[in-house]
Chains A and B, each alone.
Chain A
Amino acid sequence: MRTRIKEFRAKYNLTQAELAEKVGVRRETIVFLEKGKYNPSLKLAHDIAVALKSTIDDLFIFEDE
């Protein structure tokens, strides 16, 4: 899985810590998400999409492994 969280975060000038606080997780979770090393729940994916004024489809790109 790839994510475009970093790209959207930069667009809205948010740090990892700020995004983490907005969605109620720790910064480490955002780090793992940006690296594509953590598959979030639908709820967290939705919260991040809302925080970054985007959609889940735009943020998370699933590729065949």
Chain B
Amino acid sequence: MTENTEKTKSNVERDYNSYRVILWIGSALLIVSSLSLILWKTMNDIIVTGLLLGIMFYVISFFAYIGMGDTVKDERLRKVGTLAATWSWYITLTFVGSLVVSMYWANRIRDPVELMGVTIFVMVAAMLVANLILSRKGDIE
């Protein structure tokens, strides 16, 4: 084992917990903000600040989450993160496709603010649910 690996070993749990806390705060902010957009169909300073902070927290911790940073050394967690992010992308894309169909052909016009809220909500919720399901499994491939 290399010296670098030795150095990071004792920090695995602490690093994992710190990035996980950031990701959970970001997720909570995005969920609450997106639900506010869906319910009230309007933006205000508080909602926009919540959205931007949530996005910022995600941007900061995302690469650690999918294992591209040096933070998470656990290979299983890296796989869980990568697969959860992939599922989230797939579900969001499918959802946006269904929105396009319902808006264009079924003529169900929606408010742009509501659309943004729904898309963000689906994306974050899909990632969290996928993460929860996959982290309970041993082999995730």
Q: Do A and B bind each other?
A: yes
Majority-rule SS of B interface residues: helix
- For residues 1 through 37 of chain B, which have their beta carbon under 8 Å from a beta carbon of chain A? 1, 5, 8-10, 12-13, 16
Beyond A32-B76, A47-B1, whether A21 also contacts B9 by CB under 8 A is: yes
Q: Range of interface residues on chain B?
A: 10 to 19
Beyond A26-B16, A37-B139, whether A21 also contacts B10 by CB under 8 A is: yes
Q: Are B12 and A26 in contact, CB atoms less than 8 angstroms apart?
A: yes
Beta-carbon contacts of B89-109 to A below 8 Å, as 1s and 0s? 000000000000000000000
CA of A47 to CA of B138 in the docked complex: distance in angstroms? Answer: 19
Closest to B9 in A: A24
CA of A30 to CA of B84 in the docked complex: distance in angstroms? Answer: 21
Q: Are B77 and A24 in contact, CB atoms less than 8 angstroms apart?
A: no
Interface stretch of the complex, out of A7-15, A38-46, A52-60? A38-46
Chain A CB within 8 A of B75 CB: yes
CA of A22 to CA of B76 in the docked complex: distance in angstroms? Answer: 16
Name the one of B1, B5, B10, B139 contacting A38, with C-beta atoms under 8 angstroms: B139
Task: Please give, as numbers and ranges, the residues of chain B lying within 8 Å of A28 by CB-CB distance.
Answer: 76, 135
Nearest CB of chain A from residue B59's CB, rounded to whole Å: 24
Q: What are 17 A-B contacts defined by CB distance under 8 Å? A: A21-B13, A25-B12, A26-B13, A26-B16, A26-B76, A26-B77, A28-B76, A28-B135, A29-B74, A29-B76, A29-B77, A37-B137, A37-B139, A38-B76, A38-B138, A44-B75, A47-B5
- B: which residues have CB within 8 A of A? 1, 5, 8-10, 12-13, 16, 73-77, 135, 137-139
Give 3 nearest A-B pairs by CB, closest first.
Answer: A37-B138, A32-B138, A24-B9
- A: which residues have CB within 8 A of B? 20-26, 28-29, 32, 35, 37-41, 43-44, 47, 50
